[in-house]
Amino acid sequence: MMEKSFVMMKPDTVQRRIMGKVLSRFEEKGLQLVGMKLIQIDEALAKEHYGEHAEKPFFNDLVSYITSSPALAMVIKGEDSISLIRKIVGATNPKEADLGTVRGDFALDMGRNVIHASDSPASAEREISLFFDEDEICEYEMVDNAWIYE
Ligand code: IDP
Ligand code: MG
């Protein structure tokens, strides 16, 4: 199934200048970037995005982290891309994330875990519409499609 996922490089990834390395993980896999923008997330947007964690003890620190500096918001498209991207991203706690995953290779701390990715089709839809207008998503054909998909 062709899916779009919301993926966001968190402020630590922008500040550490490793956005290109992280992006290449998705490009090399054959996934397609259909939306991208560098944004300074404000408190209201951060609280809305992470609404499901509002009661958690780490919520305030999470909102501070996400609003501390710009983040790179993206929409990435591909076959079964939502669960696939979660695998590429790795476990929430970078110390437990497998090596070879983004968090396993680039992060050490739960509160500085480099990247966000939607965890289900419903969250992908909600998060994409929270961060992107419809006209900010580019639908286009990749010239190597026949070499990525059978
Ligand atoms: P996910 O990003 O892997 O989907 P969630 O459980 O949805 O993980 O948590 C959202 C974000 O909140 C995590 O990516 C991480 O930045 C932060 N977070 C989650 N649990 C903790 C914690 O126990 N301490 C500090 N930060 C946490
Ligand atoms: Mg989550």
pLDDT digits (tens, 9 = 90+) for 114-142: 999 999 999 999 999 999 999 999 999 99
CA 67 / ligand 1 centre spacing (Å): 15
Ligand 1 pocket, residue 119 CB under 6 Å: yes
Rg (CA), the chain: 15
Q: CA–CA separation, 110 vs 100, rounded Å?
A: 17
Q: Annotated catalytic sites, by residue?
A: 116
100 CB-near residues (< 8 Å, 6+ apart): none
Q: Closest-lying ligand to the alpha carbon of 94?
A: 1
Q: Give the pLDDT band (50/70/90) at residue 144.
A: very high
Write down the mean pLDDT value for the chain. Answer: 98
Residues 63-81 have a mean pLDDT of 98
Per-residue pLDDT at 125:
98
Mean of the pLDDT values across residues 13-35? 98
CA of 87 to the centre of ligand 2 (A): 13
Report pLDDT for 143: 96
pTM over 0.95, yes/no: yes
User: pLDDT tier at 72 (50, 70, 90 boundaries)?
Assistant: very high
- Residue range 85-107: average pLDDT? 98
Does ligand 1 lie within 6 Å of residue 49's CB atom?
Answer: no
Structure tokens at 62: 């999470």
What lies within 8 Å, CB to CB, of 39 at 6+ separation is 70, 71, 72, 73, 131
